[in-house]
Structure 1
Amino acid sequence: MSFLVEENPAKHRFEILVDDALAGFTAYLPRGEVRIFTHTEVRPEFQDMGVGAALVRATLDQVREQGGRLVPQCPFMRAYIERHPEYADLVFEPA
């Protein structure tokens, strides 16, 4: 099984393809350099296969490469960052 995560700026989301099929996405609201992640969804036939974790990990890596920051309003993404503190520096905390 091969994963590919790509940003879809027109839809304000990062999408994960599994063997060329859309398996899920994580949606965001753009606020300048900050993205507010609001929802992560994995299609039922791809659940319990690590697709959600692969999606969030690749999304966080791409946000880091772009020099961006984020607000993890989505409970799945927030929990992932709590379990992987190496991504905590990406979280934008308003002053």
Structure 2
Amino acid sequence: MKPEYTEIPLIKNDALQQFEITIDGYKAFIKFHETPGHFTLIHTEAAPELEGKGAGTAVVEKTLEYIAQSNKTLIPLCPFIFAYIKRHPEWKKQVAPEFKGFND
């Protein structure tokens, strides 16, 4: 994540079922479904004004950190998050055991 994004807070918006960050007045977010044991991460999106600026990566990293601190697992249905975890296998430990999408 870009250093200038480290202090931007992650908001868990339960009403919209999304994790969000705001950069320069624009949002990047991840749609989720929460159960008592895990989060299913469904879709990642950044405002067009944020494309190519690392906002998607920032919201993914902040969301993964939040999930880890919550002692929950995740199911990465979103292709962007799935690809991020493939590139950063240290996050596979947060993936729910029932998710069989990674061929280890």
What is aligned with 1:93? 97
Separation of aligned partners in 1, 2:26 and 2:37: 26
Matched, 1:34 2:17: no
CA distance in 2, matches of 1:41, 1:17: 12
Partner residue, 1:5: 10
In the aligned structure 1, how far is the partner of 2:59 from the partner of 2:27?
9
TM-score, length of structure 2 as denominator length: 0.82
Shift of 1:4: 2.8
- Secondary structure of 2:74's match? strand
Paired residues, number: 94
Q: Is the Cα–Cα contact under 8 Å of residues 33 and 68 in structure 1 kept in the other structure?
A: yes
Gaps of 5+ in 1: none
Aligned residue among 14, 18, 30 for 2:19: 14
Which of the two has greater strand per residue? 1
Q: Structure 1 runs of 4+ off > 4 angstroms? A: none
Q: What is the deviation of 1:17?
A: 0.9
Normalized against structure 1, the TM-score is what? Answer: 0.90
* Aligned partner letter, 1:27: K
Q: Is residue 2:44 matched to residue 1:60?
A: no
State how far apart, in whole Å, the 2-side matches of 1:60 and 1:51 are.
14
Aligned partner letter, 1:11: L
Take 1:28 and 1:84, find their aligned partners in 2: how far apart are those partners? 20
Q: What RMSD in Å do the two structures reach over aligned CA positions?
A: 1.6
In the TM superposition, what whole-angstrom CA distance separates every residue of 1:15-60 from its partner, at most 9, and x where no partner exists?
A: 01114x2421001111222111110000101010000001000000
